[in-house]
């Protein structure tokens, strides 16, 4: 029996992905002092919470969740986040971009986008709570720079990702050693694809915020994407608001997360749509990733994901 054959599981693919994610979460619980789950209420972070419940059952999840709140939120998502926290008795930490803007530590960008502003509040929250492991929902299929991401991704005291310090990962032996003030980002969903995520959501009956399903919304077009109109998001004078039937494929800062035109109002319809989709999740919906080819790599080096 080889390690390779152990990897090639007899059980079906979702079972294998689930077992792998649970194994990763338990390794972190066993080896780190103060882990935290990044939790936005979006689908990937809902998957993390669901997997953590499974990993430690019948005990409650042994670590808190952290939301980096850009202040540009979809109301539905915040309400959903709070309901989940309540239902599972989670401890919620919130780092607010708005606080930083209010007291001048951060400056609003000309384009109004707040995704790039999340890094400082995130790193401050990690330092303040002395988190040594931070679970993220990143997947390797999302983007080229992510294809090489480790499951355990070492960050220096500035939260930065240094290519030369990333460690080879063999078998399922993860090396989480780090120095004081450094931390490790951990990606239990590394080997899920977008389609796996949706299949798993269906199989497990995981509830999601309503904006993932088709609904009518006032939107305007910017950079080839449908952005929602709202207090923070726009539109500018030259941008025309129209009502469209849309849904979101990712949930992020409202000012730069685009909706896609879609009639998929049920989980099965969403699955069909994802299967047929001709665009990557990020290409379709994230303005900030489209700024440049290497945008993601640069942000990772800075300490964002």
Segment near another protein (CB under 8 A); pick from 6-14, 72-80, 106-114, 123-131? 6-14
The reply on whether position 170 binds another protein by CB under 8 A is yes
Minimum separation from the CB atom of position 72 to another protein (A): 24
Positions in 32-91 near another protein (CB under 8 A): 53-60
| C-alpha–C-alpha distance, residues 68 and 215, integer Å | 26
The reply on whether position 160 binds another protein by CB under 8 A is no
Q: How many residues does the chain have?
A: 305
CB of 289 closer than 8 Å to CB of 279? no
| C-alpha–C-alpha distance, residues 223 and 113, integer Å | 13
What residues contact 33, with CB distance under 8 A and at least 6 apart? Answer: 130, 132
The reply on whether position 231 binds another protein by CB under 8 A is no
CB of 32 closer than 8 Å to CB of 64? no
Coil/strand/helix, residue 252 = coil
Choice from 172, 263, 266, 272 touching another protein (CB under 8 A): 172
Choice from 104, 173, 231, 237 touching another protein (CB under 8 A): 173
Backbone φ and ψ of 128, nearest 5° = -60, -45
The reply on whether position 12 binds another protein by CB under 8 A is yes
Question: Which one, 244 or 300, has the nearer CB to another protein?
Answer: 300
Question: Which one, 145 or 214, has the nearer CB to another protein?
Answer: 145
Site for another protein (CB under 8 A): how many residues? 67
| C-alpha–C-alpha distance, residues 52 and 57, integer Å | 8
The reply on whether position 205 binds another protein by CB under 8 A is no
| C-alpha–C-alpha distance, residues 196 and 198, integer Å | 5
Choice from 169, 269, 273, 302 touching another protein (CB under 8 A): 169
DSSP-assigned states of every residue in 73-128: --HHHHHHHHHHHHHTT--EEEEEHHHHHHTTSS---TT---GGGGHHHHHHHHHH
Minimum separation from the CB atom of position 33 to another protein (A): 14
| C-alpha–C-alpha distance, residues 195 and 30, integer Å | 30
Positions in 13-32 near another protein (CB under 8 A): 13-16, 18-20, 22-23, 26-27, 29-30
Minimum separation from the CB atom of position 302 to another protein (A): 14
Question: Which one, 119 or 190, has the nearer CB to another protein?
Answer: 190
Segment near another protein (CB under 8 A); pick from 64-72, 104-112, 162-170, 253-261? 162-170
CB of 90 closer than 8 Å to CB of 62? no
Cis upstream peptide for 235 (omega within 30°): yes
- Strands of the sheet containing 35-38, edge to edge, are 92-96, 65-69, 35-38, 133-135, 183-186, 152-155
Choice from 70, 153, 190, 228 touching another protein (CB under 8 A): 190
Minimum separation from the CB atom of position 98 to another protein (A): 32
Question: Which one, 62 or 218, has the nearer CB to another protein?
Answer: 62
Choice from 82, 83, 144, 157 touching another protein (CB under 8 A): 144
Binding site for another protein (CB under 8 A): 1-16, 18-20, 22-23, 26-27, 29-30, 53-60, 140-141, 144-145, 147-148, 154, 163, 165-173, 175, 177-179, 190-191, 193, 195, 277-280, 283-284, 293-294, 297
């Amino acid at each position: 029996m080889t390690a390779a054959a152990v990897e090639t599981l007899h059980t079906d693919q979702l079972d294998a992905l689930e077992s792998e994610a649970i194994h990763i979460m338990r390794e972190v619980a066993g080896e780190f002092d103060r882990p935290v789950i990044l939790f936005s209420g979006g689908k990937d972070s809902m998957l993390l919470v669901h997997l953590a419940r499974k990993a430690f059952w019948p005990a409650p999840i042994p670590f808190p969740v952290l939301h980096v709140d850009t202040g540009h939120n979809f109301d539905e998502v915040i309400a959903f986040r709070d309901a989940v926290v309540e239902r599972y008795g989670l401890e919620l930490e919130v780092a607010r971009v708005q606080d930083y803007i209010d007291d001048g530590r951060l400056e609003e960008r000309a384009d109004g986008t707040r995704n790039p502003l999340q890094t400082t509040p995130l790193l401050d929250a990690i330092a303040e709570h002395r988190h040594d492991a931070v679970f993220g929902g990143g997947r390797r299929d999302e983007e080229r720079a992510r294809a090489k991401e480790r499951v355990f991704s070492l960050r220096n005291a500035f939260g930065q990702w240094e290519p030369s310090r990333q460690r080879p990962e063999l078998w399922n032996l993860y090396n989480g050693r780090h120095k004081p003030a450094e931390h490790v980002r951990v990606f239990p969903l590394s080997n899920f694809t977008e389609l796996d995520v949706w299949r798993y959501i269906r199989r497990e009956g995981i509830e999601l915020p309503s904006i993932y399903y088709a609904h009518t919304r006032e939107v305007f077009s910017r950079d080839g994407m449908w952005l929602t109109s709202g207090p923070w998001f726009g539109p500018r004078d030259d941008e025309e608001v129209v009502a469209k039937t849309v849904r979101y494929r990712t949930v992020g800062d409202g000012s730069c997360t685009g909706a896609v035109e879609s009639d998929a109002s049920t989980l099965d319809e969403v699955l069909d749509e994802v299967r047929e989709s001709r665009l990557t999740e990020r290409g379709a919906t994230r303005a900030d990733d489209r700024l440049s080819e290497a945008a993601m790599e640069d942000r990772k080096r800075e300490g964002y994901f």
